[in-house]
Structure 1
């Protein structure tokens, strides 16, 4: 069974987000751990989580995906920004202990002119401080599109981060179809080659989540512009082949397309119907 969902708000609680997911035919969802543009985080209610877990069990949900705030930048050129990023990262890890069936995705960061090598060194330094042998949730570096001074658009950069972190047992990756295509990985005509490359560098066993998005921009554009499924440069067929690939189909797939619940429902319905033609 394909596990597919979308990004949902938890402003009304996890239970309501679970109900919203079920209402649109989803079997997972992604959520921000806190205000994506700030540092505030709502306290997690134990009863609310218990109610969500009942929904997840009944509807056979896959892992939930917690997304770190956009304001985090572990490789900023400003020490105060790096310190703030570590603080909210650490707080997120503590909060996720209350959500054991979840993985944590974050953008590696932007080196803002310091150079990728320096950026990677700062990210590694931070993760060596933050991740311990007791870290249980999977912590996932998101592969980026390569715009500006982003770190992590190349598999080689993700590998350097993973290899540099001492306690990397639970350090993995989350890939994004739009980001991959924009970064120059041709998942439309040569998906197997891309997966082989990722496997040879990082090991696909570290791939624990996937963002399924179409793209408003063409191949290798180095821009991050998500589009509704089937309305961009990747197209429905290519995205369904990603979702149903034997090496990927076990993953939780989440849409980050520019839509609200009713449109997400239509996208999920479309993807499921198309996927049925590819699955055994």
Structure 2
């Protein structure tokens, strides 16, 4: 299993990769720049190239998480321009670092009485970004954490958005366990149904990364509050086990975004490896 966590780039991209090795992680996620800003970063290409080479040598998978303001449903034209430019910058950094892609949030609807407007905007945004992108790194759309029926919470929506874009081959998916639990998509008891449905519609063929998070609240409440995997939330160990033990997911990175104050990520990765990995 490829367990990892979100890491800081305070010591650079190569520094983050070395930190992953130091804590025995097989994967890591990072913000390419300030997570609260959509500014364009003139990044250190030498550092990125060394990160790329180091990860290849160590067999580590990395993935970028886009800054929080960069959702696929920006609510005005000025913000749309900023999001397009920022995500292209993120993709460029991902490509340089050898990362598999850039996780991006679906976003909140502009008008809840007419969701079609927002779905159309998501597709326009994807097209505007990806028509300018020729690299290998992909945009990875993450499922939302809203209450049942909220926009961006179902596998069918994500697959449909990808299929309606002009560049589906440049789009993949990120499955967040806490988001799925919060939205009622995954109740902890219906993984077999989710897998069957996802396989039938082609979702899991395009799944690139799993955000592996417990939930501080029961399923279906729409509350996105992460908890540590073991004995800290409403998702039980045996429920997580059904996902982890799915044979087709053995090469997918499981990235922790859990509270480090509850359990340091180095310790949590150790526990995950002892439970479901090779125990090294």
Say whether the fold is shared (TM-score over 0.5). Answer: yes
Partner of residue 88, structure 1: 86
Q: C-alpha displacement at 1:50, in angstroms?
A: 3.6
Q: C-alpha displacement at 1:195, in angstroms?
A: 1.3
8 Å Cα contact 2:52-2:97 kept in structure 1 = no
Of 63, 66, 72 in structure 2, the residue corresponding to residue 65 of structure 1 is: 63
8 Å Cα contact 1:182-1:223 kept in structure 2 = yes
The structure-2 alpha-carbon separation of the partners of 1:41 and 1:131, relative to structure 1 and needing over 3 Å to count, comes to: closer
Moved more, 195-204 or 228-237: 195-204
8 Å Cα contact 1:73-1:81 kept in structure 2 = no
Partner of residue 55, structure 1: 54
Partner of residue 15, structure 1: 14
Moved more, 172-181 or 132-141: 132-141
8 Å Cα contact 1:214-1:229 kept in structure 2 = yes
The structure-2 alpha-carbon separation of the partners of 1:100 and 1:19, relative to structure 1 and needing over 3 Å to count, comes to: closer
Moved more, 5-14 or 52-61: 52-61
Q: C-alpha displacement at 1:123, in angstroms?
A: 0.8
Mapped pair 1:99 → 2:88: no
Q: Deviations over 1:213-238 (max 9, x none)?
A: 01001111111110011111112332
Alignment partners' CA distance in 2, 1:85 and 1:148: 27
Q: Deviations over 1:69-122 (max 9, x none)?
A: 111133233222222211211222233331234211100211143543211100
Partner of residue 122, structure 1: 121
Secondary structure of the corresponding residue to residue 260 of structure 2: coil
Count of residue pairs the alignment pairs up: 276
**What is the CA RMSD across the aligned residues, in angstroms?**
2.4
The structure-2 alpha-carbon separation of the partners of 1:70 and 1:244, relative to structure 1 and needing over 3 Å to count, comes to: same
Partner of residue 244, structure 1: 245
Q: How does 1:1-280 map to 2 (within 5 A)?
A: 2-61=1-60, 63-114=61-112, 115-132=114-131, 134-146=134-146, 151-186=151-186, 188-230=188-230, 231-259=232-260, 263-276=264-277
The structure-2 alpha-carbon separation of the partners of 1:42 and 1:261, relative to structure 1 and needing over 3 Å to count, comes to: farther
Q: TM-score, normalised by structure 2?
A: 0.89
Alignment partners' CA distance in 1, 2:71 and 2:174: 17
8 Å Cα contact 1:112-1:149 kept in structure 2 = no
Q: TM-score, normalised by structure 1?
A: 0.89
Alignment partners' CA distance in 2, 1:5 and 1:107: 20
Alignment partners' CA distance in 2, 1:237 and 1:24: 25
8 Å Cα contact 2:63-2:102 kept in structure 1 = yes
Moved more, 224-233 or 179-188: 179-188
Runs of 4+ in structure 1 over 3 Å off? 40-43, 147-151
The structure-2 alpha-carbon separation of the partners of 1:164 and 1:51, relative to structure 1 and needing over 3 Å to count, comes to: same
Alignment partners' CA distance in 1, 2:176 and 2:244: 11
Alignment partners' CA distance in 1, 2:53 and 2:159: 37
Q: C-alpha displacement at 1:51, in angstroms?
A: 3.2
Unmatched 5+ residue regions in structure 1?
none
8 Å Cα contact 1:24-1:261 kept in structure 2 = no
8 Å Cα contact 1:143-1:158 kept in structure 2 = yes
